[in-house]
Amino acid sequence: MRFFYDPNNTNLKKAINNQQLMGQDKLKDVVIFKRELFKLSDGGTVAIDWANYNDKVINRPILAMIPGLSGNSNQNYNLSMIMEAEQYGYQCVVLNYRGAAGVDLTSPKLYCAASQYDFREIVDHIHFNYCTNENGKQLRDIFMTGTSLGANNLGNLIGEDGDKCKVKAAVCFQPPMWLYKSSACIDKGLYGFYGKHFGKTQSAVVRPHVEYMREHIIKSHGIDLRQKLDEVKTLRDLDDKITCIINDYQTIENYHYYGSCATRIKGIRIPTMFMFAEDDPIIGKESIDYEQCFQNPNVMIGVTKRGGHTGYFESAFSPEQWFPKPIIQFLNSFRDDLN
């Protein structure tokens, strides 16, 4: 068991520092994405963004990353991870959600905290087309990381797949292990600001797709998506009035329980690290399920005193983050070419 501590005493407040937001452009300059559009089995479409792709080097291990709730490939935490991983020869790729990252919905379904079925299809696609030759011989391994909501999806994926998992090792970075506990943390955070903020931003993600989905949702689930979206004030409202219903959980309680990766940790059969910060104002330390992690010998948990939510900045004026260092060190431990 290993616990990491932030020696720089950094926190979430640095994530919204103007210097860092400006500095993010410096990180973008070193990463060029090549987009692949992948069609899911139900007709949905997702963007697979390959970072600095080099098709002439076919034996580099792949590091597939799932972003957070409203994330995309250009999020600061993705760019920092890519910069660190490329130093060790990884071919990085960001796996985006359906209806996100500038891709239109092509099936009447939205992503959520339990969209692991989408990512299973994407991983199968990458494994078959990029990791094996025409004879089925494996040429390289897939490693994975997920951040925040993406980490919950990753935990769900590898927990469900068990011994059949195609991923060599994984890191879940600040997942809401118990969605209902993280939801409560968001609701009370900054006197309700976080709940209202995420309710507004995620409603903005859904709104462009309302007319495309509206008729189907009325027929399949009996709710008017436009009307329900107008009633949303907080992220919990969105989960309660829309997300839980259109994803067939029926109630927000069912969604927040059965969508939580903590319910699947016991099924994980690959080396996996969960990483958290105790001062995370979004996930909340109450959501960290130490017991579930301790009971699985394949799982390691690292908890820092500080770091905020996807923070961990090198300094107050730097856009670079230090959390990728222990993450990549952990994944490197399971690479055959380095050991």
Q: What are 156-183's pLDDT values in tens digits?
A: 999 999 999 999 999 999 999 999 999 9
Give the pLDDT confidence score for residue 26 in this predicted structure: 58
**Position 327 pLDDT exceeds 80:** yes
In this prediction, residue 8 has a pLDDT band, given cuts at 50, 70 and 90, of very low
Domain ranges of the chain: 12-178+261-332, 179-259
**Is residue 80 flagged as an active site residue?**
no
* Mean pLDDT confidence for 264-292: 97
Amino acid at residue number 166:
K
Element (H, E) at 234: none
Give the pLDDT confidence score for residue 27 in this predicted structure: 61
**In the chain, % of residues over pLDDT 70:** 91
Locus of tokens 């009325």: 218
Q: Mean pLDDT across the chain, nearest whole number?
A: 90
Straight-line distance from the first to the last Cα atom of the chain, in angstroms, rounded to the nearest whole number: 21
Selected catalytic residue, list 73, 280, 289, 318: 280
Spell out the residues 6+ positions from residue 155 whose beta carbon is closer than 8 angstroms to its own: 146, 172, 175, 177, 261, 262, 264, 265, 268, 272, 274
**Position 18 pLDDT exceeds 60:** no
Least confident range from 6-20, 192-206, 269-283: namely 6-20
Q: How many CA atoms lie within 13 Å of 281's alpha carbon, on the beta-carbon side?
A: 16
pTM for this prediction? 0.91
Selected catalytic residue, list 148, 203, 287, 318: 148
* Mean pLDDT confidence for 31-35: 96
Interior CA angle at 145 toward 143 and 148, to 5°? Answer: 165
* Mean pLDDT confidence for 110-134: 96
Q: What is the rounded CA–CA span in Å between residue 197 and residue 148? A: 16
* Mean pLDDT confidence for 42-56: 93
**Is residue 203 flagged as an active site residue?**
no
Least confident range from 24-28, 117-121, 258-262, 319-323: namely 24-28
**Is residue 148 flagged as an active site residue?**
yes
| 231: number of Cβ within 10 Å | 11
In this prediction, residue 5 has a pLDDT band, given cuts at 50, 70 and 90, of very low
Q: Dump pLDDT digits (tens) for 228-274.
A: 999 999 999 999 999 999 999 999 999 999 999 999 999 999 999 99
Instruction: Give the pairing type, strands 62-66 and 33-39.
Output: unpaired
Query: Under CATH, which architecture does the 12-178+261-332 domain have?
Result: 3-Layer(aba) Sandwich (3.40)
